[in-house]
Structure 1
Amino acid sequence: MKKHINYLALVAAALFTLVRPAGAWPLKIYTLHDPIQDDWSISGWAHELGNEPTFPEDERIESWEVPWGGWIPCPTDYKDGVVVQVAMRNLTRQTFYEGEVFYVADADTSLSNWDEWVGQVDFDPGQAFMIDRRAALGGQWGQKNTPLVAESFIMDGIWQPGEIWQFVIQDYTSSWNGSPAYFGSLGIGGASGGGLSTGSIVIIPEPGTAMLLLLGGWLLAFGTRRRSR
């Protein structure tokens, strides 16, 4: 029996290694469905990308503020507040696609171009938006909130390794005056450690990948429970 349990643990670890789009153990997230802009919902397993030294190399991004280029992602809700533009470079070995990449504000950060509230299970959610393009840059028609304004390779909604994306946050405030480009602590929304972070970059895996992650998590949990008896 012990050999069987050890085998399950090895299978679980292998599944996580094979399918994870980034290096960390995945987070389980939920959406508090209350859209003021674009209507979507994400839940289940997700991954967080961030800055060194907290995040390992295969889930790391480099991020910094750049001069605002004048784009307002959602004019109908703009309150004439501070508008910031953030650049982030993909330092992972993975390629991500428009519709998979989200920004989630920490509890002490607020903005006006949010779509939904997204949180980590058992913690309060934060204001969130999908990092997507406006129609003039190739985005889908009908979107109200379009923060993605520049890509350093091709404006195609594909975030390749080494590529820089730039996105805009309107009416940005931080209770501790933190930079909008700080993505340095683990956890999203109310689960973020704070101090090193004002927000999170969240990656949603494809449905097939999510199922494998769920299976790996179940096998790992089963093996752990059996060993503890």
Structure 2
Amino acid sequence: MSAEECRFWLLDINYEVVGHEPEVWLWGITDDGKRVLLLDRGYWPYFYAVLKEDAEPKAVAERIKTISPLIVSAEPVDRRYFGRPVKAVKVVCKDPEELEKIAKKVAKLEGVKECLEDDIRYSMSYLIDKGLRPCGWHVAKVKPVEPPKPSPQVDAVYEVLEGPVAVEGHELPALRLLAFYMVAYSPRGSPRPKENPVVVITALTGEGERKTFVADGEDDKPV
């Protein structure tokens, strides 16, 4: 199928790992109010191995590549750490869930001083590197694909071919809104979730529909 442009308002982001390879899942709403899921399979997790001053970057990079088959690449780079120039190796891996384990092994190698950025959440790293804004408009080149299993409750699923990039736009999409307020009862002190019941919950939708749920005495199961 040919590529098409998708303009969407980013609602949420998460990721899945399939066969040790990550997929970023971007949940959004298009201009015409459709719920969409964009799958980006082109972003790899990474961390930096900061080297000791007397270390040879290329030699350390070659040693790092032997640590795990999940390492995609290890390339010497120049970085600044608290304003000071340092020699480092950028280590790109396949599986974000294995990143910290690999970083711990790399940190023990000769010539490595410490590893950094291995504790940054994969989806957060994606947002930062791509310059994306949750609750903002974005554009990506995509192609329609079959939905993953179990099938998500969206109108369309796309694979990202290029982008996404943030674009200007201050209008809100057709959001489904739900606000609620709850009252918990405690005869003494602050309510405790495991001990004290929720006696009233009031919910209000974006269309103005309001409903109140009241507990039967101290039994909050109906609520």
| Range of TM-score over shorter length | under 0.3
- Larger Cα-atom Rg: 2
Higher strand share: 2
Higher helix share: 1
Higher RCO (Cα < 8 Å, 6 or more apart): 1
* TM-score normalised by L of structure 2: 0.21
